[in-house]
Amino acid sequence: MTDATPALSPPSSPRLTPAFVIGATLVGLHVIVGLITLFWAPYDPTAMTGGRLAPPSLAHWAGTDRLGRDLFTEIMVGARIALAVGIGAVAIAATIGVTIGLLAAFASRTVDDVLAATLDILIAFPTLLLAMLIVAASDGASLGTAILAIGIAASSIVARLTRILARRVLAMDYITAARVSGTGWLGIVRIHVLPNIWPTLIVNLALQFGLAVIAEASLSYLGLGAPPPNASWGRLLQEAQATVYTAPFGAVAPGIALVSLVIGLNLFADGLRDVADPTRRRR
């Protein structure tokens, strides 16, 4: 009954689902913590300020690691690294991915087929493996190579999505009309394609952000991310592994940080989709 005249019902205002609010709060917290560490942290993240593997206390909220460094400080700084990698990788993925996706959508049939096949091969390649190859090929691991590697690995997914979305728009009658009226392809992209595909793209990029955070932790865990003593959560997890029985909190604390940011990003992306895609709001 309610579906009888959906096209005529007035557009409902964007609804903020609880998931969206929780997601935005979690992400917001991490962003605030990350920003704070630019100016202040409880301790110097590399300073050996406490005893070996001290348990959580008032002085050290999350205890200390084997070198006596304050874990809470390291986790705070880790949030900044995780977010920096996420932002950098998503920016690279968006730039490369959207460009290639649009090129494929506009290209001749043959070029499009080649590009599509290449993207499929790249996507079949595990993101982490691709990132590891890129890091191995560069001269030594750094935060920059990690961002670049994760961004490039994610760009194939963005490119494929962009291509599909753009082709759907390009098949519309009003595009033919625009072409006939002499609008160049750049104009078509600007006026018609991008405005129509960005809501879906943004949601996908938010999901890619979460994946990038996990990928960075994985690379650092393997020693291929930001070199020590950068307080990446992956490095903290790797170092805590040797002492997981006697000082489990050393692994639990960065684990909570990582999980909360990734869950936050996923909920945030889900919420964004509800806001951006009106069809999702219908019952």
Partner 1 sequence: MTALPIRASRAPLSVLKATTAAALLVMGLGPVLAAEGGTDATINIGSLYEPQNLDNTAGAGQGINEAFNGNVYEAMFRLNDDGSVSPSLVKDFKVSDDGLTYTFVLQPGVTFHSGDPLTSADVKWSIERVTSPDSKSSRKNSLKPIASIETPDDATVIVKLSSRSISLPYNLSYVWVINDKAKDLQSTEDGTGPYALEGWQRGAQLAVKRFDKYWGPKPENGEVVFKYFTEATALNNALLTGAVDVITSVQSPDSLAQFKDNPDFTVAEGKSTTKLILAYNDRVAPFDNVKVRKALARAVDDKKLLEAVWGDYGTLIGSFVPPTDPWYVDLTKTDAYDPESAKALLTEAGYPNGFTFTIDTPNYDPHPLAAQFLQGELAKVGVKVNINVITANEWYTKVYKAHDFQATLQEHVNHRDIVFYGNPDFYWGYNNPKVTDLIKASEEAKTVDEQTEKLKEANIQIAEDAASNWLYLYPQIVVSKKSVSGYPLNGLNSQFFAYGIKKAE
Q: How many other C-beta atoms can be found within 10 angstroms of the C-beta atom of residue 55?
A: 12
The answer to whether 255 contacts partner 1 (rule: CB under 8 A) is no
Nearer to partner 1, 101 or 234 (CB): 234
Q: Residue 48: helix, strand or coil by DSSP? A: strand
The answer to whether 214 contacts partner 1 (rule: CB under 8 A) is no
List the end-to-end C-alpha distance of the chain, in Å, as a whole number: 11
Q: Residue 5: helix, strand or coil by DSSP? A: coil
Could you identify the residue written with the tokens 């949601």? Answer: 203
As a whole number of angstroms, the distance between CA 40 and CA 33 comes to 10
As a whole number of angstroms, the distance between CA 222 and CA 183 comes to 51
Nearer to partner 1, 66 or 281 (CB): 66
Radius of gyration of the CA atoms of the chain, in A: 22
Q: Which of 17, 22, 42, 46 binds partner 1 (CB under 8 A)?
A: 46
Q: Which of 14, 56, 68, 187 binds partner 1 (CB under 8 A)?
A: 68
Q: Which of 9, 95, 176, 241 binds partner 1 (CB under 8 A)?
A: 241
Q: Which window, 7-15, 109-117, 156-164, 242-250, contacts partner 1 (CB under 8 A)?
A: 242-250
Residue of 192, 197, 163 whose CA lies nearest to 178: 192
Nearer to partner 1, 67 or 276 (CB): 67
Beta-bridge partner residues of 48: 69
Angle ∠(277,213,105) on CA atoms, nearest 5: 45
Q: Which of 14, 227, 256, 281 binds partner 1 (CB under 8 A)?
A: 227
Q: Which window, 77-85, 190-198, 226-234, 260-268, contacts partner 1 (CB under 8 A)?
A: 226-234
As a whole number of angstroms, the distance between CA 226 and CA 219 comes to 8
Q: What binding mask, one character per residue, do residues 118-157 give for partner 1 by CB under 8 A, x or -? A: ----------------------xx----------------
Q: Which window, 25-33, 183-191, 245-253, 254-262, contacts partner 1 (CB under 8 A)?
A: 245-253
Could you identify the residue written with the tokens 């990698």? Answer: 85
Q: Which window, 60-68, 98-106, 108-116, 191-199, contacts partner 1 (CB under 8 A)?
A: 60-68
Residues forming the site for partner 1 (CB under 8 A): 46-48, 52-53, 66-68, 140-141, 221-224, 227-229, 235, 238-239, 241-247
